[in-house]
Amino acid sequence: MSNTVATTIRDQIVAQDKMAMWAWGAKDLVAHSNGLSFKSSGLATWKGTVFVQYNEGADDYTVEFFKIRKAEKKVTKIFNGVYCDQLVQVIDSVVG
């Protein structure tokens, strides 16, 4: 996999809701070999890191919400088996 996975995830989110990334205060977008991560900020209800990981075999996503506190990763919530048309809904349910 390559950065095209991250670009695809971003494009799928924007296709569902052009203002979603803006509404979440998405910043510091990072392309991973198997996904995309970003920090939510601004007026978002929940502030932290969102990591959308592509599961190639299942052709779905795992969406993980976490915060880094004192150099320790604290997972807030994980959603498994998320399809592309559910990404905005799932992220919005936590980030607000």
HSE (side-chain half, CA atoms, 13 Å) at 57: 0
* Confidence (pLDDT) at 44: 82
In the DSSP assignment, the letter for residue 41 is: -
Does residue 21 come out as left (phi exceeding 0), alpha (psi in the -120 to 50 range) or beta? alpha
Is 60 a residue whose pLDDT tops 80?
Answer: yes
Mean pLDDT of the chain: 93
The token duo for 39 is 């920090």
Range of the domain at 37: 3-95
| Percent of the chain topping pLDDT 70 | 98
The token duo for 12 is 């799928």
Q: What is the pTM of this model?
A: 0.91
Beta carbons of 61 and 55 less than 8 angstroms apart: yes
Which residues, in sequence order, are bridge partners of residue 51?
Answer: 37, 64
Question: Into how many domains does the chain fold?
Answer: 1
